[in-house]
């Protein structure tokens, strides 16, 4: 085969006075060329690799998506379907009762509105605060810079379970550095008075069952996975060239002005990524929500949706599967808004991460 | 209307007159203040010059001002750290060292108990140390699987292929959606296992609840002639059957690897291709060394992520213990767990950092 290759030298024809046409394969007939191409090892390995890769990707996509399909299928099944041997994925007794019960009895709309308010406010705060902290750590040299970075990593490492008890205690008897206790002793209730404005029980400085604990830990960059966001944004800001800010400073812009008018607009894709993470992790968060909203008469939030509605409680052979299906339906309803948000933002997720150059 | 205008005009005149009057009356005072300030300023200036302080105290340098603005940016975190996080951590340490008991009529008292809870956790508690070992063993087996899987997927997702955008969107679904609440719902989900399994119905009983893709027997047949130990067979089948869990937990790692892969200069790959390197050689000689810092980061992230997740064996045990007495024992346990994990991370970093290649940037 190789001898044939060497024999087929370039075939040159003169088209016009100043143009020539070089036909490298002119001497070889089409079928021969095709045969040479198809039966080369390179081509074969490429084909095998492409097919293998595609099959693997399809398989893993199936593994990822199958639980969602089964949840969707199960959510439309009636009670009879769970004891029916012939029913596997397509429901026979099509019903919307599960959705209806969850929507009405578990107060889906209340939970949706409350969680939206909580998640959006917390996620916006987290995004902005993490941006500030990341920028401060990336672009300014001061003595404690490294120490603060270590602290950021520490907040990532320490498990939340360790802090559960004392976090609850802190927000149950909330006072900032003993300030509230002092003022109550003096009879001047400044901080409790302020807190009362925002619907907090003044007598005990009880912040639990309000949005405040979540907002406070968001505003101080201590909320769920904020260490990761700070680290990501720090790496992103380190990639932004210093000359940009220096030219702004030379033109008389202050540090804050530079941050708001130059750096923030520049980092919008990255901020969308962080916001997406913060929003969705806040949305499905169970730990902090249960920690900060322990009372029975609190506002309805997403974790309440994943309960079995009263009207659907039964006791029959397919009970465990049926309850599982109800919970799955609740899960579908919980993630439905997230899916919509993700469909619009997923482009930014990969882009933002790619541009961040986390490698640093 | 004109009357109103007149009124307005007169009022304005009166106001202007009043303003003038006030200005005249207060002029001496403000003048005096201004003069006084000037005097003080010059006096201070002279004092500075005389004592030589002017050479010591200068308007802050650019570096200092920049440092100050740096502090301003990290201020929220510093405040949170000092007033919320450190007290919480110290409290938690203190809880683990103390005995809390409730007093009649409400309120709690704490008394120092030394290392009693730590002793209880390690020596008296029947299953804690066993669970701890089990958890650490699980961690050591899981971390390489997750890191290798996410690297593999990231490398594939980085290549040009049919439907890459769709695959990317699908692969990052678990990161965004299957966390927290969904995670706990998925754990209880017997329905999808039931639907996935090809066996007959069992009215929701747990017998075929683990939707096994392959059984240990299939792999055992495959590995029989290779003279591989039974442990590895069990490990591999465990991994394959646990694929959903592994995919779920490797989302962020995939993103980090993708970012790392994107940052490798295409010129290097081009040079490789011209030199005639195969894809296999390119991966081991170029991609792997260039991505090795990311491997370290991801391994640490995986360790942290899996040991702070609530689905962990040790974590579930600790959570179950939280309700007993006042939770001091649980706190002590989580501190022991934390120290163990820190030790593992430390050992891992010490070993891995010898093998990591950092590209010099200029």
For tokens 């394959």, the residue is: B240
Same domain, A132 and A242: yes
Residues B214, B237 contacting (CB under 8 angstroms): yes
Q: Which residues contact A100 (CB under 8 A, 6 or more apart)?
A: none
Of B88, B190, B319, the CB nearest to A170: B88
Beta bridge partners of A201: A206
Q: How far is CA B262 from CA A26, A350, A357, B83, B297, in A?
A: 41, 11, 8, 40, 16
Say what the alpha-carbon torsion angle B134, B138, B139, B143 is, to the nearest 10 degrees.
170
Judged by CB atoms closer than 8 Å, whether chains meet at B195 and A88 is answered as: yes
- Put residue B324 in one of left, alpha, beta given phi > 0 → left and psi -120 to 50 → alpha: beta
- CB count in 10 Å sphere of residue B259: 23
Q: Tens digit of pLDDT for each residue in B317-332? A: 877 776 666 667 777 8
Residues A258, A191 contacting (CB under 8 angstroms): no
Is pLDDT of B92 > 70? yes
Q: By the CB < 8 Å criterion, does B39 face chain A? A: no
Give the model's pLDDT for residue B326: 63
Q: Give the mean model confidence (pLDDT) for residues B7-34.
A: 69
Give the model's pLDDT for residue B175: 81
Q: Among A289, A305, A321, identify where a domain stops.
A: A305
Q: Which residues contact B156 (CB under 8 A, 6 or more apart)?
A: A53, A56, A57
Domain span holding position A268: 106-176+205-305
Give the model's pLDDT for residue B199: 44
Residues B70, A141 contacting (CB under 8 angstroms): yes
Give the model's pLDDT for residue A307: 78
Tell me the H-state helices in chain A: 2-7, 30-38, 41-75, 97-105, 108-139, 145-157, 160-172, 179-186, 190-197, 212-219, 226-239, 242-250, 255-258, 264-266, 268-283, 287-292, 319-356
Q: By the CB < 8 Å criterion, does B108 face chain A? A: no
- Best mutation site among B108, B180, B246 for testing chain A: the one with the most A CBs within 10 Å? B180
Give the model's pLDDT for residue A121: 92
Give the model's pLDDT for residue B165: 82
Q: Give the mean model confidence (pLDDT) for residues B48-66.
A: 69
CATH of residue A239's domain is 1.10.3720.10
How many angstroms separate the CA atoms of A305 and A109, rounded? 10
Distance from the B86 Cα atom to the nearest Cα atom in chain A, whole angstroms: 10
Judged by CB atoms closer than 8 Å, whether chains meet at B80 and A220 is answered as: yes
Give the model's pLDDT for residue B11: 66
Q: Tens digit of pLDDT for each residue in B101-142? A: 666 666 666 677 777 778 877 887 778 888 888 888 888 888
Same domain, A27 and A144: no
Give the model's pLDDT for residue A353: 64
Distance from the B288 Cα atom to the nearest Cα atom in chain A, whole angstroms: 14
How many angstroms separate the CA atoms of B223 and B240, rounded? 15
For B:263-292, CB contacts with A below 8 A are 263
Residues of A in contact with B89 (CB under 8 A): 158, 162-163, 166
Q: Which residues contact A268 (CB under 8 A, 6 or more apart)?
A: none
Judged by CB atoms closer than 8 Å, whether chains meet at B191 and A306 is answered as: no
Q: For chain B, first and last CA: distance in Å?
A: 78
Same domain, A34 and A125: no
Judged by CB atoms closer than 8 Å, whether chains meet at B201 and A85 is answered as: yes
Q: By the CB < 8 Å criterion, does B358 face chain A? A: no
Judged by CB atoms closer than 8 Å, whether chains meet at B182 and A255 is answered as: no
Q: By the CB < 8 Å criterion, does B185 face chain A? A: yes
> Of the candidates A216, A227, A222, A223, which has an alpha carbon nearest to the alpha carbon of residue A137?
A227
Mean pLDDT of chain B: 76
Same domain, A11 and A138: no
Tokens of B60: 């802050």
Exposure class string for A182-210: b at 16+ Cβ within 10 A, else e: ebbeeeebebbeebeeeebebeebbbbbb
Q: Is residue A25 part of a domain?
A: yes
Residues of A in contact with B69 (CB under 8 A): 136, 140, 255-256
- Best mutation site among A108, A144, A159, A175 for testing chain B: the one with the most B CBs within 10 Å? A159
For B:56-85, CB contacts with A below 8 A are 63, 66-74, 76-81, 83-85
Same domain, A299 and A222: yes
Residues of A in contact with B341 (CB under 8 A): 157
- Best mutation site among B181, B263, B264 for testing chain A: the one with the most A CBs within 10 Å? B181
Judged by CB atoms closer than 8 Å, whether chains meet at B63 and A141 is answered as: yes
Helical pair A160-172 and B313-322, crossing angle rounded to 10 deg? 30
Give the model's pLDDT for residue A181: 46
Q: Is residue A333 part of a domain?
A: no
Q: Is residue A321 part of a domain?
A: no
How many angstroms separate the CA atoms of A350 and A270, rounded? 10
Element (H, E) at B192: helix B191-196
Same domain, A29 and A118: no
Q: Is residue A284 part of a domain?
A: yes
pTM score of the predicted model: 0.75
Q: Give the A:B interface size as CB pairs under 8 Å.
A: 285
Q: Is residue A252 part of a domain?
A: yes
Q: How far is CA A43 from CA A34, A35, A355, B157, B285, in A?
A: 11, 11, 34, 21, 23
Judged by CB atoms closer than 8 Å, whether chains meet at B181 and A161 is answered as: no
Judged by CB atoms closer than 8 Å, whether chains meet at B195 and A155 is answered as: no
Q: Is residue A322 part of a domain?
A: no
Same domain, A125 and A15: no
Q: Is residue A272 part of a domain?
A: yes
Q: How far is CA B233 from CA A194, B148, B216, B223, B245, in A?
A: 64, 18, 7, 7, 19
Distance from the A217 Cα atom to the nearest Cα atom in chain B, whole angstroms: 7
Domains along the sequence of chain B with CATH? 1-58 (no CATH), 60-114 (no CATH), 117-352 (1.10.3720.10)
* DSSP assignments along B112-128, one per residue: E-TTHHHHIIIIISSSH
Same domain, A144 and A27: no
For tokens 């059957």, the residue is: B241
Sign of dihedral through CA atoms A90, A91, A96, A101? negative
Rounded (5°) CA angle B139-B211-B243 = 40
Give the model's pLDDT for residue B132: 87
Q: Is residue A325 part of a domain?
A: no
Same domain, A27 and A164: no
Residues A248, A262 contacting (CB under 8 angstroms): yes
Tally of domains in chain A: 2
* DSSP assignments along B219-264, one per residue: HHHHHGGGT--HHHHHHHHHHHHTHHHHHHHTHHHHHHHHHHHHTS
- Best mutation site among B64, B67, B85 for testing chain A: the one with the most A CBs within 10 Å? B85
Q: By the CB < 8 Å criterion, does B337 face chain A? A: yes
> Of the candidates A69, A136, A312, which has an alpha carbon nearest to the alpha carbon of residue B192?
A69
Same domain, A151 and A34: no
> ipTM value of the model?
0.74
pLDDT along chain A (360 residues), means of 10: 49 77 69 82 87 90 84 83 74 83 84 89 93 90 86 81 73 58 42 50 62 85 86 83 87 87 85 87 84 75 79 77 84 87 79 57
Same domain, A144 and A24: no
Is pLDDT of B210 > 70? no
Q: Tens digit of pLDDT for each residue in B242-283? A: 777 888 888 888 888 888 888 788 899 999 989 989 888 999
Same domain, A164 and A27: no
- CB count in 10 Å sphere of residue B243: 16
């Amino acid at each position: 085969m190789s001898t044939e290759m060497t024999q087929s030298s370039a075939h040159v024809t003169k088209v016009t006075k100043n143009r020539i046409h070089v036909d490298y394969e002119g001497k070889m007939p089409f079928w021969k060329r095709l045969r040479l191409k198809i039966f080369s090892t390179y081509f074969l390995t490429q084909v095998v690799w492409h097919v293998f890769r595609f099959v693997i990707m399809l398989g893993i996509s199936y593994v990822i998506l199958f639980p969602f399909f089964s949840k969707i299928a199960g959510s439309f099944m009636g009670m009879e379907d769970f004891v029916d041997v012939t029913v596997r994925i397509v429901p026979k007794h099509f019903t919307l009762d599960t959705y209806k019960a969850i929507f009405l009895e578990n107060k889906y709309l209340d939970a949706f509105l409350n969680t939206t308010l909580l998640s959006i406010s917390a996620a916006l705060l987290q995004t902005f605060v993490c941006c500030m902290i990341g920028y401060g750590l990336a672009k300014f040299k001061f003595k404690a810079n490294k120490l603060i970075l270590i602290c950021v990593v520490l907040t990532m490492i320490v498990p939340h379970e360790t802090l559960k008890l004392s976090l609850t205690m802190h927000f149950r008897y909330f006072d900032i550095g003993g300030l509230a206790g002092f003022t109550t002793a003096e009879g001047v209730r400044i901080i409790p008075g302020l807190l009362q404005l925002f619907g907090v029980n003044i007598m005990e400085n009880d912040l639990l069952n309000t949005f405040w604990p979540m907002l406070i830990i968001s505003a101080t960059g201590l909320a769920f996975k904020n260490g990761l966001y700070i680290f990501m944004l720090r790496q992103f800001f380190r990639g932004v060239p210093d000359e940009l800010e220096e030219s702004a400073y030379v033109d008389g812009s202050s540090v804050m002005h530079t941050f708001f008018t130059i750096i923030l607009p520049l980092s919008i894709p990255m901020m969308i990524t962080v916001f997406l993470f913060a929003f969705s992790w806040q949305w499905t968060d169970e730990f902090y929500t249960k920690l900060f909203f322990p009372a029975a008469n609190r506002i309805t939030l997403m974790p309440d949706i994943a309960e079995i509605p009263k009207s659907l409680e039964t006791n029959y052979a397919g009970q465990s599967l049926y309850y599982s299906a109800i919970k799955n339906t609740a899960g579908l309803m919980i993630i439905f808004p997230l899916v919509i948000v993700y469909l619009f933002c997923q482009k930014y997720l990969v882009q933002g991460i790619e541009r961040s150059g986390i490698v640093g | 209307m004109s009357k109103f205008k007149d009124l307005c005009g007169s009022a304005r005149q009166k106001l202007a007159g009043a303003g003038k009057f006030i200005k005249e009356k207060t002029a001496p005072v403000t003048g005096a203040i201004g003069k006084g300030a000037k005097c003080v300023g010059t006096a201070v200036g002279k004092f500075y010059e005389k004592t030589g302080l002017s050479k010591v105290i200068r308007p802050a340098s650019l570096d200092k001002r920049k440092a100050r603005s740096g502090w301003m940016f990290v201020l929220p975190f510093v405040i949170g750290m000092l007033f919320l996080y450190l007290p919480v951590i110290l409290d938690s340490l203190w809880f683990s060292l103390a005995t809390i008991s409730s007093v009649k009529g409400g309120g709690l008292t704490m008394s120092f108990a030394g290392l009693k809870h730590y002793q209880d956790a390690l020596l008296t508690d029947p299953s804690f140390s066993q669970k701890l070992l089990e958890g650490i063993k699980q961690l050591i087996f899981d971390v390489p699987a997750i890191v290798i899987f996410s690297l593999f997927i990231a490398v594939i997702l980085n290549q040009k292929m049919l439907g890459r955008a769709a695959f990317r969107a699908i692969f990052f679904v678990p990161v965004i959606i299957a966390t927290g609440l969904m995670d706990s719902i998925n754990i209880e989900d017997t329905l999808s296992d039931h639907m996935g399994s090809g066996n007959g119905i069992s009215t929701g009983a747990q017998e075929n609840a683990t939707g096994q893709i392959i059984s240990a027997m299939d792999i055992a047949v495959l590995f029989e002639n290779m003279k591989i130990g039974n442990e590895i067979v069990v490990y591999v089948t465990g991994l394959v059957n646990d694929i959903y869990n592994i995919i779920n937990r490797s989302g962020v790692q995939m993103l980090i690897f993708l970012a790392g892969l994107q940052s490798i200069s295409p010129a290097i790959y081009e040079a490789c291709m011209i030199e005639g390197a195969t894809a296999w050689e390119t991966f081991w000689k170029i991609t792997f060394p260039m991505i090795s810092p990311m491997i370290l980061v991801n391994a640490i992230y995986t360790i942290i992520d899996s040991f702070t997740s609530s689905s962990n064996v040790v974590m579930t045990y600790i959570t179950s213990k939280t309700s007993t007495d006042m939770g001091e024992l649980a706190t002590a346990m989580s501190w022991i767990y934390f120290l163990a994990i820190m030790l593992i991370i430390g050992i891992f970093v010490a070993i891995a950092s010898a093998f990591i290649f950092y590209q010099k940037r200029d």
